[in-house]
């Protein structure tokens, strides 16, 4: 019985780890589609990566980031574009591992608010992470600029990095420490270059890949998304600075509006498939659950067999006792 209870406990833990609740996104942005029809259409981003739309593939190449280590002697523009904090990137930075060469244009972040550490755009099985970094690239093999490429079906490629709360992150500090200089919409500030690769998780060969859109208007469906499986960590203080430093509004506006919850809610996947380059924990958990289930059945069978054997033995002992106890007549046989 103890074995059974133990197995059921393991099963429950397994289920708990495997099937997190599917939750819907936060408040939407329905007014976008009135002015920008693409925002109300299909192939939109972000989406929730849930098991029904995920498919493993071994045919995708790992992402390789080229010239990501920017010199600290060169300055790059940090700005508040009214949606996020944005850092301009040189087109000398590019990606390998996609059908074309994609050159970098900018990076920016999405986050929640000081009361909620849930601000990522993409979610995994309904789980929203603390924040999300996007590094945007354009197809420099086919188009001369981001502006020309942005509405083409193969025009853009974005890297997505899911961010969780953890240890202080020195790479992210290269941006976070300058947020005070771009508090208001339209403000810009020059910051020194740093190794952009240090903003990424260690394994660039494990990711979710799908075709989607830019997550702000005009929501063009032109993005090959690569969202890394592994997260990066920033400290609670760094996240709080991100959540509380900036405004959607310009400096002289009478009613300042804090920049918070600047993430778009998840969109319908339609009949899209999200390809993954790694074996899912779900699959392993299901295999584990199956194996544990088999063990439970074996344990039950063993238990029943053992009980039957015990009953049989008890019956045999009773029989032996009955047979071996001589009667008074046998002890004193009549002659
Ligand atoms: Zn973004």
- The DSSP string of 149-188 is HTTSTTSEEEEEEEEEE-S--HHHHHHHTTGGGG-STT-E
Which pLDDT tens digit goes with each residue over 197-244? 999 999 999 999 999 999 999 999 999 999 999 999 999 999 999 999
Q: How confident is the model at residue 335 (pLDDT cuts 50, 70, 90)?
A: very low
Nearest to 149 by CA among 73, 76, 51, 222: 222
The CB-side HSE value for 291 (13 A sphere, CA atoms) comes to 8
List, by residue number, the catalytic residues: 83
The C-alpha atoms of residue 275 and residue 269 are separated, in whole angstroms, by 13
Question: Residue 296 pLDDT > 90, yes or no?
Answer: no
Q: How confident is the model at residue 31 (pLDDT cuts 50, 70, 90)?
A: confident
Residue 314: the pLDDT is 65
Q: How far is the CA of 295 from the centre of ligand 1 (A)?
A: 47
Q: How far is the CA of 263 from the centre of ligand 1 (A)?
A: 8
Per-residue buried b or exposed e for 169-200, using 16+ beta carbons within 10 Å of the residue's own CB: bebbebbbebbeebbbbebebebebbebeebb
- Which helix (DSSP H) or strand (DSSP E) does residue 55 occupy? strand 54-56
Token representation of residue 36? 């920008």
Q: How far is the CA of 134 from the centre of ligand 1 (A)?
A: 5
Residue 325: the pLDDT is 47
Give me the residue spans of the domains in the chain: 1-22+282-323, 31-278
Is residue 140 within 8 Å of residue 67, measured between CB atoms? no
Is residue 20 within 8 Å of residue 94, measured between CB atoms? no
Residue 7: the pLDDT is 42
| pLDDT-wise least confident of 43-47, 108-112, 175-179, 331-335 | 331-335
Superfamily of domain 31-278: Alpha carbonic anhydrase (3.10.200.10)
Residue 315: the pLDDT is 63
Question: Residue 288 pLDDT > 80, yes or no?
Answer: no
Question: Residue 281 pLDDT > 80, yes or no?
Answer: no
Which pLDDT tens digit goes with each residue over 113-160? 999 999 999 999 999 999 999 999 999 999 999 999 999 999 999 999
Q: How far is the CA of 255 from the centre of ligand 1 (A)?
A: 25
Q: Compute the residue count for the chain.
A: 335
Mapped onto helix, strand or coil, the DSSP state of residue 7 is helix
| pLDDT-wise least confident of 39-43, 76-80, 208-212, 289-293 | 289-293
What single string gives the DSSP state of each residue in 98-147?
A: SSS-EEEEEEEEEE-BTTB----SSEETTEE-SEEEEEEEEETTT-SSHH
Is residue 186 within 8 Å of residue 173, measured between CB atoms? no
Residue 34: the pLDDT is 87
The C-alpha atoms of residue 126 and residue 148 are separated, in whole angstroms, by 35
Rounded percentage of the chain residues whose pLDDT exceeds 70: 81
Q: How confident is the model at residue 5 (pLDDT cuts 50, 70, 90)?
A: very low
Average pLDDT over residues 66-79: 98
Residue 32: the pLDDT is 86
The residue with greater pLDDT, 325 or 81, is 81
Q: Phi first, then psi: what are they for 111, rounded to 5°? A: -150, 175
Token representation of residue 26? 């936060």
Q: Which residues surround ligand 1, an ion (CB under 5 A)?
A: 134, 215
Q: How far is the CA of 110 from the centre of ligand 1 (A)?
A: 6
Average pLDDT over residues 76-91: 98
Q: How far is the CA of 167 from the centre of ligand 1 (A)?
A: 24
Q: How far is the CA of 244 from the centre of ligand 1 (A)?
A: 18
Helices (H) and strands (E) in the chain, counts: 7, 16
Which pLDDT tens digit goes with each residue over 319-330? 555 554 444 444
Q: How far is the CA of 135 from the centre of ligand 1 (A)?
A: 8
Q: How far is the CA of 197 from the centre of ligand 1 (A)?
A: 18
Using DSSP bridges, classify how beta strands 48-49 and 232-234 pair: parallel, antiparallel or unpaired: unpaired
Question: Residue 2 pLDDT > 90, yes or no?
Answer: no
Question: Residue 56 pLDDT > 80, yes or no?
Answer: yes
Average pLDDT for the chain:
86
Burial label for 316, CB within 10 Å (0-12, 13-18, 19+), is exposed
């Amino acid at each position: 019985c103890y074995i059974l209870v133990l197995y059921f406990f393991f099963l429950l833990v397994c289920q708990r780890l495997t099937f997190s609740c599917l939750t819907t996104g936060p408040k939407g942005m329905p007014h976008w589609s009135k002015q920008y029809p693409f925002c109300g259409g299909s192939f939109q981003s972000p989406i929730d990566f849930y098991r029904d739309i995920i498919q493993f593939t071994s045919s995708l190449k790992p992402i390789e980031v080229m010239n990501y280590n920017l010199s600290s002697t060169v300055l790059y523009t940090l700005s508040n574009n009214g949606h996020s904090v944005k850092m301009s990137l040189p087109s000398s930075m590019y990606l390998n591992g996609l059908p074309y060469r994609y050159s970098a244009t900018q990076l920016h972040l999405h986050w929640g608010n000081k009361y909620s550490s849930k601000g990522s755009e993409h979610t995994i099985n309904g789980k929203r992470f603390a924040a999300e970094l996007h590094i945007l690239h354009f197809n420099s093999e086919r188009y001369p600029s981001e502006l020309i490429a942005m509405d083409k079906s193969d025009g853009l490629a974005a890297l997505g990095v899911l961010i969780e709360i953890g240890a202080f992150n020195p790479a992210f500090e290269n941006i976070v420490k300058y947020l005070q200089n771009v508090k208001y919409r339209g403000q810009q500030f020059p910051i020194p270059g740093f190794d952009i690769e240090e903003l990424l998780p260690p394994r660039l060969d494990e990711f979710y890949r799908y075709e989607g859109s830019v997550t702000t208007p005009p929501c063009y469906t032109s993005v090959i998304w690569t969202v890394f499986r592994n997260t990066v960590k920033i400290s609670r203080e760094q996240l709080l600075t991100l959540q509380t430093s900036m405004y959607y509004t310009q400096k002289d506006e009478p009613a300042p509006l804090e920049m918070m919850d600047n993430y778009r809610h998840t969109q319908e996947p339609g009949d899209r498939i999200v390809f993954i380059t790694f074996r899912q924990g779900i699959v392993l958990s299901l295999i584990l659950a199956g194996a544990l289930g088999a063990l439970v059945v074996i344990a039950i069978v063993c238990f029943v067999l053992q009980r039957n054997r015990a009953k049989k033995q008890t019956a045999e002992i009773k029989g032996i006792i009955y047979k071996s106890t001589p009667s008074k007549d046998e002890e004193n046989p009549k002659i």
